[in-house]
């Protein structure tokens, strides 16, 4: 599950892995996960060891 904030919905969602569109490795230990919210908006979540925010626990 991913905690993602959608700018267009102005709301925070808990999104399952089935909403993942793409995963990008930006740098060592930094991952950008592209998801869609329940309204099909594109949401980007940053994750990884060096990012001090709530990230995905599992994929
Ligand atoms: Zn949305």
Give yes or no for residue 50 having a pLDDT over 80.
no
**Ligand 1 center to 3 CA (angstroms):** 13
The predicted model scores a pTM of 0.72
Residues 6+ apart with CB under 8 A from 34: 20, 21, 22, 23, 24, 42, 43, 44, 45
**Ligand 1 center to 35 CA (angstroms):** 10
**Ligand 1 center to 10 CA (angstroms):** 7
Residue of 52 and 48 predicted with greater confidence: 48
Judged on CB neighbours under 10 Å (0-12, 13-18, 19+), 15 is: buried
CA distance 39 to 47: 22
What share of the chain in percent tops pLDDT 70? Answer: 81
Q: Calculate mean pLDDT across residues 39-51.
A: 84
**Ligand 1 center to 57 CA (angstroms):** 21
Average pLDDT, the chain: 86
Q: Calculate mean pLDDT across residues 3-28.
A: 93
């Amino acid at each position: 599950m991913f905690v993602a904030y959608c700018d267009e919905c102005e709301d925070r969602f808990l999104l399952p892995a089935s909403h993942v569109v793409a995963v990008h490795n930006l740098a060592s230990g930094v991952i950008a996960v592209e998801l869609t919210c329940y309204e099909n908006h594109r949401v980007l979540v940053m994750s990884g060891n060096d990012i001090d925010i709530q990230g995905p626990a599992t994929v």
